[in-house]
């Protein structure tokens, strides 16, 4: 079994993938990809069985590349979710040298915005493809550079801890989803959520009517997010997540009624939710 993640080694994605592998208790080979887009496409092309990619962060919100690729490019299902506790560490080659540039992935830079403004108001920031890539870069550059990355990246790239847990909100969670072409029916735990993606027309009240299909059956919607439909300015698609703690038939009726109101609706399936932490 092969599982793709956003690399190189030492990313939050790798830590989460190792946790997922331990949950699955199977022989999974973890394969690093340069981008989230490439990791998702590796599954779609059949080069790997799974990918584990971030979809939402509790401070910064959606990981747009994941949502957009799922909606527009590939046809994959969600087999499981992992809610991962993210700890942002400030790492440098030397802890005594003043820092002039801080490098990380765009998400952690945003998750630590207040901290950086307060502690390093004059430092430049630079976004790279992943936190581990930032750590790798800092290890190759001269003094004065720091990375926001994981503890494991610090160990891998020989960096020292300048400050730990620097995110603006102590509880910092990223939801990762395990994507596959065909879900393994032997579930490790009971599915809890469903993710739907759909496009409706722009008529007054059409979103209200769609949501009514869930509301009137007391199906709890836990998230709704819109993204450009890419069919024209002002046209959107919706990502809807629902809690499936209702009778199966009621849920089926709600989804089938909602489907009739959409131009198209993709059901990414029902999945269990696990939790994990690197520390
Ligand atoms: O760069 C990493 O370490 C990643 O795994 C990517 C990523 C993201 O895309 O949001 C994953 C989780 C954290 O929120 C920060 C970055």
Average pLDDT over the chain, rounded to an integer: 96
Name 180's Cβ contacts closer than 8 Å, sequence gap at least 6: 43, 49, 50, 76, 77, 79
223 and 239 in contact (C-beta within 8 Å)? Answer: yes
What distance in angstroms lies between residue 54's CA and the mean position of ligand 1's atoms? 7
CA-nearest residue for atom 1, ligand 1, is 130
Pairing relation of β-strands 273-277 and 77-85? Answer: parallel
* pLDDT in the model for residue 148: 98
CA distance 237 to 264: 10
What distance in angstroms lies between residue 69's CA and the mean position of ligand 1's atoms? 17
List, in sequence order, every residue forming a beta bridge with 148; answer none if it has no partner. Answer: 90
Pairing relation of β-strands 193-199 and 61-62? Answer: unpaired
CA distance 136 to 145: 11
Q: Is the pLDDT of residue 279 over 80?
A: no
Cα-based torsion angle of the residue sequence 171, 165, 12, 269 in order, rounded to the nearest 10 degrees: 0
Q: Is 7 in the pocket of ligand 1 (CB under 6 A)?
A: no
Q: Is 13 in the pocket of ligand 1 (CB under 6 A)?
A: yes
* pLDDT in the model for residue 203: 87
DSSP state of 243: E
SS3 20: helix
Q: Is the pLDDT of residue 183 over 80?
A: yes
What distance in angstroms lies between residue 13's CA and the mean position of ligand 1's atoms? 6
Residue 109 tokens read as 């830079």
pTM of the model: 0.95
For 192, the enclosing helix (H) or strand (E) is none
CB neighbours of residue 203 within 10 Å = 8
* pLDDT in the model for residue 158: 97
ipTM value, please give it: 0.95
User: Hey, what domains does the chain have and what are their CATH numbers?
Assistant: 2-86+172-182 (3.40.190.10), 89-163 (3.40.190.10), 193-272 (3.30.70.260)
138 and 157 in contact (C-beta within 8 Å)? Answer: yes
Q: What are the pLDDT digits (tens) for 54-90?
A: 999 999 999 999 999 999 999 999 999 999 999 999 9
* pLDDT in the model for residue 251: 96
CB neighbours of residue 131 within 10 Å = 30
Pairing relation of β-strands 236-243 and 221-228? Answer: antiparallel
SS3 150: coil
Q: What are the pLDDT digits (tens) for 143-157?
A: 999 999 999 999 999
């Amino acid at each position: 079994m092969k599982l793709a993640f956003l690399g190189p080694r030492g990313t939050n994605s790798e830590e989460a993938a190792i946790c997922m592998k331990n949950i699955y208790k199977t022989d999974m080979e973890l394969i690093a990809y340069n981008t989230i887009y490439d990791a998702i496409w590796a599954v779609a092309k059949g080069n790997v069985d799974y990918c584990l990619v971030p979809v939402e962060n509790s401070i910064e919100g959606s990981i747009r590349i994941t949502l957009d690729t799922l909606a527009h490019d590939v046809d994959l299902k969600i087999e499981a979710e992992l809610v991962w506790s993210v700890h942002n560490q400030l790492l440098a080659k030397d802890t005594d040298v003043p820092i002039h540039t801080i490098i990380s992935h765009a998400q952690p830079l945003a998750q630590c915005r207040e901290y950086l403004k307060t502690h390093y108001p004059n430092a430049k920031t630079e976004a790279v493809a992943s936190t581990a890539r930032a750590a790798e870069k800092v290890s190759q550059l001269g003094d004065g550079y720091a990375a926001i990355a994981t503890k494991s990246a610090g160990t891998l790239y020989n960096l020292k801890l300048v400050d730990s847990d620097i995110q603006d909100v102590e509880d910092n969670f990223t939801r990762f989803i395990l994507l596959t072409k065909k879900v393994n029916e032997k579930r490790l735990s009971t599915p809890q959520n469903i993710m739907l993606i759909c496009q409706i027309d722009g008529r007054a009240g059409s979103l209200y009517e769609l949501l009514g299909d869930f509301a009137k059956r007391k199906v709890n919607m836990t998230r709704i997010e819109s993204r450009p439909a890419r069919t024209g300015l002002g046209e959107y698609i919706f990502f809807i997540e629902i809690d499936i703690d209702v009778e199966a038939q009621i849920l089926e009726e709600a989804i089938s009624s909602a489907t009739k109101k959409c131009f198209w609706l993709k059901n990414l399936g029902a999945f269990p939710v696990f939790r994990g932490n690197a520390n």
